[in-house]
Amino acid sequence: MIRQILTTILLAGSLLGQVEFGGYARNYIGVLTEGDQEFAIIQNTLDLTLQGWSGSVSYFANPTIYQSPGKDLSFDLSEIYLDMYFNNTDIRLGRQQIIWGKGDGVFITDIVSPKDLSEFLLPDFDEIRTGITALKLNQYIGDQTFEFVYIPTFTSTVFADTSSIWSRTPDFPVPMTTDYSEKDIPAMLENSEVFAKFSGILPFMDYEIMAGYMWDDDPSMHITPTYLGPPPALSGVTLSPQHHRLSVAGGSFSTELAGMVLRGEGAYYIGKHFQAQNAMDYPIDLLEKDYFHYLLGLDFSKGSTRFSTQFIQQAIMDYDELIVQEEAMNTLTFLANRTFLRETLTAQIFAYAGLNKSDALIRPTLSYDLADGFEVLGGANIFVKDANLGDEEDPGQFGYFDNNDMVYLKVKYSF
Amino acid sequence: MKNLLIISTILILAGTIFGQQLNGTEIIEMTYSRPTSNTMEANLSMILENSRGDQRVREIKQFTKEFGDVEKKLMVFLKPNDVKNTTFMSWSFEDGSEDQWIYLPALKKVKRISSDSNSDYFMGSDFTYEDLGDRHPSEDRHKLTGEVSIDGHDCYIVESIPNDEEYMYSKTITWVIKDKWIGYKKEFYDEDEELLKELSLVNFDEHGDVIVLTEVKMNNVQNDHSTIMRLSDVEVNKAIADNKFTERMMKRGIR
């Protein structure tokens, strides 16, 4: 099957005038440092890019094959689209990744392409995005661009399989069953998503203003309790993940100040469903609230080291004390990067720090280019949990994976 | 600012006709304000060679265009493969300020970057970003220290000391070819006033009154590493659309 798909893509590409191939082969092995020191991942990847063009039309396909010992080959066609170029207009049609915003590693206005969280936030950012089938139209007015995106069918965030070490399921002290019957959004015209953005790169400042009418990529968990009694006692729950409509408007900017790049990004979301405690103190109810999500970031260099830091806050409007999530969730990101030996050796550390739960994910890496296009990268993922938290307390999105610390090695050849 | 320099250059030229000796500042101003093309398109190869003779090659397609008081440049990286289709764009203003952006295909995003990293080396080569730009004559104090004939070229020798004591070089010495106003050789001295790098002109092309340096070699004498920068398929004053220097083209690349 995979061979047939690849052959079709290659043949279709070769019909266009000029064709260019590229991609990479990668071996990726990671082992958990705690417990039985299991291999968290052993994966061989072949990522192909194929680009063909003829006059004002071009074609792009990005098939990827993943192989892991003891598993079937897995195939992903993250992008496959046609571009049509006109004088001041471009049209892209097909499965594509659309990236917006000025933030790094944060999803505030960058919400057009959903995420693949099957390995949490650990894959490279181009692998965290899932492609969406969409029509994208860009109208250029000098250095400014109007972009319109129409997505006919909804694509949800991909979550880790329940057997995965990256799975995070609701915790109830009673038996749970899951009902997926309401999860999918029927492919109908009225269920489409639309986004629009006006952006510009100008002397001294870049900006984006965006709006969207979308489905929440992350499903809300509708929970139906079963009580036995009297007195009534919770005996079971049925979880029904469902997606809800969201409206969003926001923007972002970046500018250079005194040798540093200042970045900002913010968006106001209308109609998010938050989990809330019911009368018996179980997180069973849903409350619909708006929230504001924003960041401020600074990029600068000190000597030969490049730094980048961001403060991110998600604040729920008209907060209700019954909501499980705190009113304001604060996160910091930090990046330091330095190259040595004429940019062949790169040392980097990237970290997320959750300020509410005192949890963190710290990711040091060291990479070396053995030859042009041939990179060996070693790294670690260190999850930090607040040691003072009790077992019943929420350890935060990073602290939850405290037992998943791992070291890994990636060998990648780009061609 | 550059217009003022061109006027002063005309006055300097008039002075030389009447037999006046040029001083160091006037010579550097002549090299700074020599005719340049309004547009240029070329393929750039950088060959990095270490002391063992191992070579690494970087290939770039570059476009440049003057827009009144701003010069815009677009560079599309073609090799090595892991940086293929990465694009760098800069807008350099006459007041010395600069805006820079980079497009990384893996991130699918154009990012504004700080232009305050001019002392960083460009793609692991022996050239810093500053070495690749036009340093304004007023940023240094210049002194004519002699005249010499090298390889058949009559040259002025000008020593330049930066006004900014924190500048990455303590001084530079430039050999300027008299009738062409281009540097034939340049030495860069580190903060300890030790010779750090030597830049030498290997080849140049003349397109009317525009001279394009098509091959230069920078040799770092302290670590025995060198970089050859070679331009090919050079086209000057060719019509390049204004929209070549936009976010749209950064994402699209050379097509």
Q: Is A217 within 8 Å of A245 (Cβ atoms)?
A: no
The answer to whether the beta carbons of residues A118 and A161 sit under 8 Å apart is yes
Decide if A157 contacts A115 (C-beta within 8 A): yes
Domain that holds residue A217: 86-299
Quick one: angle between helices B24-32 and B2-17, nearest 10? Answer: 120
Range scoring the smallest mean pLDDT among A3-17, A130-144, B30-44: A3-17
> For residue A145, which residues of chain B lie inside 8 Å, CB to CB?
247-248
Distance (Å, whole) CA A308 – CA B27: 42
Note whether A253 and A263 are within 8 A (CB): yes
Q: Which residues of A touch B93 (CB under 8 A)?
A: 203
**pLDDT-based confidence at residue A62 (cuts at 50, 70, 90):** very high
**pLDDT single digits (tens) B18-63:** 556 889 999 999 999 888 899 999 999 999 999 899 899 999 999 9
| Tokens linked to B79 | 């090799």
Amino acid occupying residue A266:
G
The pLDDT tens digits for A339-351 are 998 889 999 999 9
Q: Pick from B108, B111, B77, B75: which is nearest to A60 by CA?
A: B108
Residue B1 has a pLDDT of 46
Q: pLDDT per residue over A158-214, tens digit each?
A: 999 988 999 988 778 888 899 999 899 999 999 999 999 999 998 889 999 999 999
Amino acid at A94: G
Q: Is the peptide bond before B80 cis (omega within 30 degrees of 0)?
A: yes
Q: Is position A340 within any domain?
A: no
Q: Between chains, do B112 and A206 touch, taking CB under 8 Å as contact?
A: yes
pLDDT per residue over B127-151, tens digit each? Answer: 998 888 778 899 999 999 999 999 9
Nearest to B210 by CA among B175, B239, B238: B238
- Interface list for chain A against chain B, based on CB atoms closer than 8 Å: 22, 24, 53, 58, 85, 90, 97-99, 101-102, 124-126, 138, 140, 142-143, 145, 199, 201, 203-204, 206, 254-256, 259-261, 299-301, 304, 339, 342-344, 369, 372-373, 375, 412, 414-415
- Helix H or strand E encompassing B132: helix B129-132
Which of the four CATH numbers 2.50.20.10, 3.40.50.850, 2.60.120.620, 1.20.120.1760 does domain B2-252 have? 2.50.20.10
Distances (CA, A) of B181 to A196, B29, B174, B175, B208: 52, 9, 11, 10, 15
End-to-end CA separation in angstroms for chain B: 35
> pLDDT digit string (tens) for B54-105?
899 999 999 999 998 899 999 999 999 988 999 999 998 888 788 999 999 8
Predicted pLDDT at B16:
53
Alpha-carbon radius of gyration of chain A: 23
H or E stretch covering B53 = none
pLDDT attached to residue B97 = 84
Assign 3-state DSSP to chain B and report helix, strand, coil percentages, each to 5: 20, 50, 30
Per-residue pLDDT band for A390 (boundaries 50, 70, 90) equals: confident
On whether residue A52 sits in a domain, the answer given is: no
The answer to whether position A394 is within a domain reads no
Contacts of A259 in chain B (CB under 8 A): 114-116
How far apart are alpha carbons A194 and A87 in whole angstroms? 24
pLDDT (0 to 100) of residue B210: 92
Q: Which of A3-17, A36-50, B169-183 has the lowest mean pLDDT?
A: A3-17
- The domain spans of chain B are 2-252
Give the pLDDT score at A286. Answer: 93
Identify whether the C-beta of residue B13 lies closer than 8 Å to the C-beta of residue B27.
no
Is it the case that residue A377 has pLDDT exceeding 80?
yes
* B197 neighbors B187 (Cβ within 8 angstroms): yes
Contacts of A398 (CB under 8 A, 6+ apart): A352, A354, A357, A359, A360, A361, A383, A384, A385
- Categorize the per-residue pLDDT at A12 as very low, low, confident or very high, splitting at 50, 70 and 90: low
CB contact under 8 A, B248 and A145: yes
- How many distinct structural domains can be found in chain A? 1
Q: How far is B53 from chain A (nearest CA, A)?
A: 14
- Looking at residue A25, its amino acid is A
Identify the pLDDT of residue A55: 87
| Contacts (Cβ under 8 Å, ≥6 apart) of A127 | A78, A116
Q: Distance between CA atoms of A305 and A216, rounded to whole angstroms?
A: 38
In this structure, is residue A377 part of a structural domain?
no
pLDDT of A5 higher than 80: no
Residue A317 lies in a domain: no
